[in-house]
Amino acid sequence: MIGISGASGNLGRLTARGIAEHLGDPSDLVLTTRQPDAVADLVPGAQVRFSDFDDSSSMTEAFEGLDSLLLISSSTVEGRSEQHAAAIDAAVAAGVGHVIYTSMLSPGPTNPALISESHWATEEHLRASDVEHTILRFSLYSDFQVFEAMDALATGRFVHNRGTGGCSYIAREDCARVAAAVLSGGASHRGKTYELTGPESLDAVALAALYSEAGGREVEAVAVDDDEFLRLLGAENAAGNDDGHVQYGVALTVSLGRAIREGHFSAVTTSAEELTGAAPRTVASVLGDSAEMLRAVEPS
């Protein structure tokens, strides 16, 4: 039996639909989530079980009988390392044969991205545990470049703190294809760590050119330092907003820019294609899906 945690999220849904094609009996798929109703019709015949990383006993029950489990990293800001450690411990307690964790490209102590620490702690917990595992280190999703392009097209300026650093964005649907391939691929992936990227590393100037092309309007890349970027993003998001999540989002964006500048997201690998048999999508093609919306952006 194959399980997916966090099945109601975007990656969980795409992976569940992808894996369903490889399964003879849909009841061999177990969708675990905090929101069972939201995935009730996702894969007809699949089992749906409640589980929450903040509730260990829910996980031990939900992971019962699984041969493999895709552990999708949580979107929680605080306490993510502890959540993931609890999920791994529950998988061990439930006797899961193989845990596949969705990590990030080059996590570790030298990566300044705010999300790095919890991914690294989770990887370390997996390596120290008794369970067979596979680590999927995904680069940043290209899907978010659509929102970045909209902002840039509105002002004609793509302001960034990434210097000349590049990022090897990968489409979420390619991440899902990889996850489904590894979930259904069995023992051959055990003990492996895969670095998973899109087909090219793009710096800010290259991205600005793609945004211009997709939106049909000139966009200029404008490099600033971390302090200035923080000031600009803070000012943009400050208006009437003292929500901690918004402030975290600003700090995360600055930290990701710095991580890109320092080269942590620039690696380009062929692993996604090797695992799935399909070439991963370019950022240009992902932007192309939203061409109509990008061309309709009004100058601000």
Ligand X SMILES: NC(=O)c1ccc[n+]([C@@H]2O[C@H](COP(=O)([O-])OP(=O)(O)OC[C@H]3O[C@@H](n4cnc5c(N)ncnc54)[C@H](OP(=O)(O)O)[C@@H]3O)[C@@H](O)[C@H]2O)c1
Residues that bind ligand X (CB under 6 A): 6-12, 33-35, 52-54, 72-76, 83, 102, 138, 140-141, 172
- Report the nearest approach of ligand X to the CB of residue 134 (Å): 16
Cα dihedral 14/171/79/234 (nearest 10): -130
> Whats the size of the chain, residue-wise?
300
- Report the nearest approach of ligand X to the CB of residue 130 (Å): 22
Q: List the beta bridge partners of residue 220.
A: 157
| Nearer of residues 35 and 247 to ligand X, judged by Cβ | 35
- Report the nearest approach of ligand X to the CB of residue 169 (Å): 8
- Of the candidates 93, 104, 257, the one whose C-alpha atom is nearest the C-alpha of residue 194 is 104
| Nearer of residues 211 and 265 to ligand X, judged by Cβ | 265
| Nearer of residues 60 and 102 to ligand X, judged by Cβ | 102
- Report the nearest approach of ligand X to the CB of residue 193 (Å): 16
| Nearer of residues 83 and 212 to ligand X, judged by Cβ | 83
User: Would you say 287 and 153 are in contact if contact means Cβ atoms under 8 Å apart?
Assistant: no
- Of the candidates 11, 82, 84, the one whose C-alpha atom is nearest the C-alpha of residue 42 is 11
Rounded Cα–Cα distance for residues 54 and 137 (Å): 24
| Nearer of residues 77 and 293 to ligand X, judged by Cβ | 77
Residues near 48 by beta carbon (within 8 Å), at least 6 away in sequence: 7, 30, 31, 32, 33, 36, 39, 40
Q: Which residue has the tokens 């294609």?
A: 273
Rounded Cα–Cα distance for residues 33 and 1 (Å): 16
Supply 150's token pair: 């909209």
Q: Which residue has the tokens 């999540």?
A: 245
Helix (H) or strand (E) holding 2, with range, is strand 2-5
Rounded Cα–Cα distance for residues 179 and 173 (Å): 10
- Report the nearest approach of ligand X to the CB of residue 77 (Å): 10
User: Would you say 219 and 212 are in contact if contact means Cβ atoms under 8 Å apart?
Assistant: yes
User: Would you say 264 and 111 are in contact if contact means Cβ atoms under 8 Å apart?
Assistant: yes
| Nearer of residues 11 and 99 to ligand X, judged by Cβ | 11
- Report the nearest approach of ligand X to the CB of residue 83 (Å): 6
| Nearer of residues 133 and 137 to ligand X, judged by Cβ | 137
